[in-house]
């Protein structure tokens, strides 16, 4: 089964052009399934039945895994066995009738404009690290890019004069504009921050750690958490919180859904419509509080 999983991950990478995060997640979930099936003496994919996979789902639930985690495992198994069926390794798909648990969709956390402003004021402009952090926070909120896209930006992806960055995902490029405040932070960082961090190192990354090497997603996450605490923001903030806030604030201020979809890089506009619904909920709350004949 190990060989089949390796070939599947290779297929995802080279044919489906999936993201690294997807590949790592699927491989982790499928190896966990493989370990469980081995306890049932199931070591070959042709032996796997719907009963075995249902048993595995029940095991995950008994182990107190969250419904979202179980649902993600089901998605990985479905993709894996559909691939095996397509490759004629198996003659039936044991995931055909698997039913993942219902996952309650959580409304994403959104910062107010005032909270964002407070957060962005936290980094110091007196140190290279502070200048870097300020530029990273400003560009994250100004463009709504993912943290993985942020830490992989290269100097060549930035057009400071025209005020936009280029993000590449699955060989597709999207150009995202940013405003004057993000531009000023980037100028300060490139002038007084980045040279001190990079030194003589030959690094093409826009943002680096304090050793002049590429920054990790986890490294930036810790930085963001620190500034959120300093700003006394009680929301459980993540880098994605700024992405959600970017989209919501744009729509609240009249941006059209299609433009927001393009900036976020959503393949399906239904993913972007979530922010429209959130805005309508806010409008409804205002109406209920203010209208005399509510």
Is the confidence at residue 194, as pLDDT, over 60?
Answer: yes
The answer to whether residue 123 is domain-embedded is yes
Nearest CA-CA partner of 3 in 41, 30, 37: 30
**Candidate from 26-35, 139-148, 184-193 with smallest mean pLDDT:** 139-148
Q: CA-CA distance, 259 to 115, in Å (whole number)?
A: 25
Check: CB of residue 167 under 8 Å from CB of residue 159.
Answer: no
Is the pLDDT higher at 283 or at 3?
3
Give the mean pLDDT of the chain.
Answer: 87
pLDDT for position 287? 47
Same domain for 276 and 232, yes or no, is yes
- Are 69 and 196 members of one domain? no
Q: Which of 46, 69, 86 delimits the end of a domain?
A: 86
Residue 7 sits in a domain whose CATH number is 1.10.150
Specify whether 8 is located in the same domain as 126: no
Is 96 within the bounds of a domain? Answer: no
Residue 192 has a pLDDT of 93
**pLDDT for res 105:** 65
Q: Are 241 and 111 in contact (CB under 8 A)?
A: yes
CA distance 152 to 167: 9
Statement to judge: residues 123 and 158 lie in one domain: yes
Last residue of a domain, one of 86, 104, 122: 86
Same-domain pairing of 70 and 138: no
151 and 197 fall within a common domain: yes
| pTM score | 0.65
In a domain, 107, yes or no: no
Q: How far apart, in whole angstroms, are the C-alpha atoms of residue 93 and residue 222?
A: 42
- Which CATH number goes with the domain that contains 181? 1.10.443.10
Are 265 and 161 in the same domain? yes
Considering the chain, what percentage of its residues have pLDDT values greater than 90?
A: 54
Of 86, 105, 121, which residue sits at a domain end? 86
- Count of domains observed in the chain: 2
Q: What is the pLDDT of residue 55?
A: 94
Percent of the chain at pLDDT > 70 equals 89
If asked whether residues 69 and 133 sit together in one domain, one would say: no
Q: What whole-number distance in Å separates Cα of residue 119 and Cα of residue 89?
A: 53
Dist CA 117 CA 140 (whole Å): 13
Residues 72 and 216 occupy one common structural domain: no
Q: Which domain holds residue 60?
A: 2-86
């Amino acid at each position: 089964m190990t060989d089949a999983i390796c070939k599947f991950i290779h297929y995802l990478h080279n044919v489906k052009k999936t993201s690294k995060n997807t590949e790592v997640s699927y491989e982790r979930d499928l190896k966990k399934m493989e370990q469980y099936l081995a306890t049932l003496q199931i070591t070959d994919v042709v032996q796997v039945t719907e009963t075995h996979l249902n048993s595995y789902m029940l095991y995950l639930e008994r182990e107190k895994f969250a419904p979202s985690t179980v649902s993600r495992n089901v998605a990985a198994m479905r993709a894996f066995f559909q691939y095996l069926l397509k490759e004629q390794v198996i003659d039936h798909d044991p995931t055909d009738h698997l039913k993942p648990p219902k996952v309650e969709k959580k409304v994403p956390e959104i910062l107010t404009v005032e909270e964002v402003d407070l957060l962005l004021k936290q980094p110091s402009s007196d140190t290279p690290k502070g200048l870097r952090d300020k530029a990273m926070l400003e560009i994250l909120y100004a463009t709504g890019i993912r943290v993985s896209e942020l830490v992989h930006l290269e100097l060549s992806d930035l057009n400071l004069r025209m005020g936009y960055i280029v993000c590449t995902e699955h060989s597709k490029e999207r150009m995202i504009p940013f405003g004057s405040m993000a531009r000023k932070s980037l100028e300060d960082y490139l002038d007084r921050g980045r040279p001190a961090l990079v030194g003589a190192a030959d690094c093409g990354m826009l943002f680096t750690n304090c050793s002049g090497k590429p920054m990790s997603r986890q490294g930036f996450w810790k930085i963001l958490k620190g500034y959120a605490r300093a700003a006394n923001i009680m929301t459980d903030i993540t880098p994605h919180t700024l992405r959600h806030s970017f989209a919501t604030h744009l729509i609240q201020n009249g941006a059209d859904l299609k433009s927001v979809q393009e900036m976020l890089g959503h393949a399906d506009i239904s993913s972007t419509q979530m922010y429209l619904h959130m805005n309508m909920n806010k409008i409804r709350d205002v109406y209920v509080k203010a209208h005399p004949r509510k």
